[in-house]
Amino acid sequence: MQQSMQPNMQPNMQSHLQSNRRPIGASISQSALQHNLAIVKKHAPHSKIMAVVKANGYGHGLINVAHGLNQADGFAVLGLNEAIDLREAGFSQVILLLEGVFSVQELGIAASLGLDIVVHSAAQIEMLEQTRLSKKINIHLKMNTGMNRLGFNASEFLAAFSRLKSCTNINKITLMTHFATADEPLGIAAPLALFQQTVEKLNLPEPLPSSLANSATILRHPQVHADWVRPGIILYGASPVTGTLARQFDLKPAMSFTSEIISIQTIQAGESLGYGNRFTASQTTRVGIVACGYADGYPRHAGQYLTDKNQLGAPIAVNGIMSQTLGRVSMDMLFCDVTHIAEAHIGSPVELWGNTVPVDTVAEASGTVCYELLCAIAARVPMQVVD
């Protein structure tokens, strides 16, 4: 980790530190982002695309991602600060605040920046009714169809719509919901029916635009692409469907998380390694120590959800050859098996996830989802953008 320059440190010393940085990094591929956006367009050719770039672009860097996805019709973010960053960077697309606003002050800023907001609560309606805005604002009125997270229940939706329709601060209304099981065998039939039946009761003279499809819905349920689709994880080249790799959807990983071997140990049968002696060798084993740990964003529990004490762990690639982690991940380092990789040495490249090691497989071996791994990349990991 590069330390802050001390007052008495000479500039050439700072340059020396920069040129001898710890060998870990993440590269973000603009071409992969563009490719994945094209896959979304192929699946939903008649829908506008609201690219979800919240959580710092799913850990890829908000502005990095926005440039790679600049052909999207809009961007969906979580907080006002992300929307401001996008506007200040020159992005003029529709920008949607997925949780709406939390205060009258935020509402005023959103209106002045030309942002769209999700409305999911009575408190947000009250703000819109009681505030004088500089210009009208577009809203996405959210219905709760079973996620039970945000949104108006079907019994409340009609009244909420009526109030907003009468509100002088409102410009356009888009109807919205989010499916809880689009990536599972249960599918979306029941929540979709609830949404459609409720919207019919609005007795609209003509249909309002709607936004229904997240990543899994885009790939698995083309009948509900509607006016807007909201791709998230698929834009980053990971799978929204457990047990199905991203490459099966022709998606390309946007992030390559890499490091190097910084030491090699050879342990004999019966010897253990790492905290808690999580791995004990059953034969002579050559072990590579990699400059990456949970403080870098790699999961501490990698491999523990697939293995017992004496088995191997999460997938990893050394010199482009597949292997697996060993033992417990430390704060700054992890172990991997290089017994079968004779050419492995100090300085050998290691891919933690990327083109050779799908992030989906690391997530599965860690008892989590790829979303968490991508979003967890630590600030101390240098990040660069590549074509």
Helix (H) or strand (E) holding 192: helix 189-200
Helix (H) or strand (E) holding 84: helix 80-88
User: What φ, ψ does residue 324 adopt, rounded to 5°?
Assistant: -145, 155
* Burial (Cβ within 10 Å: 0-12, 13-18, ≥19) of residue 14: middle
From CA 368, how far away is CA 247, in angstroms rounded? Answer: 19
| Residue whose tokens read 């990536």 | 183
- Among 54, 142, 236, 294, the active-site one is 54
Sign of the Cα torsion 123, 124, 127, 128 reads negative
Sign of the Cα torsion 244, 245, 248, 250 reads positive
User: What φ, ψ does residue 138 adopt, rounded to 5°?
Assistant: -85, 140
From CA 46, how far away is CA 265, in angstroms rounded? Answer: 56
From CA 46, how far away is CA 344, in angstroms rounded? Answer: 50
User: What φ, ψ does residue 73 adopt, rounded to 5°?
Assistant: -80, -20
Residues 6+ apart with CB under 8 A from 2: 17, 18, 21
Residues in the chain: 387
Return the DSSP state at 4: P
User: What φ, ψ does residue 26 adopt, rounded to 5°?
Assistant: -125, 130
**Bridge partners of residue 260, in order along the sequence:** 349
Q: Quick check: is 201 catalytic?
A: no
Q: Quick check: is 42 catalytic?
A: no
- Among 136, 165, 172, 275, the active-site one is 275
From CA 288, how far away is CA 262, in angstroms rounded? Answer: 8
Amino acid identity at 245:
L
Residues 6+ apart with CB under 8 A from 8: none
From CA 99, how far away is CA 59, in angstroms rounded? Answer: 19
User: How many other CB atoms are there within 10 angstroms of residue 166's CB atom?
Assistant: 9
Enumerate the active-site residues. 54, 275
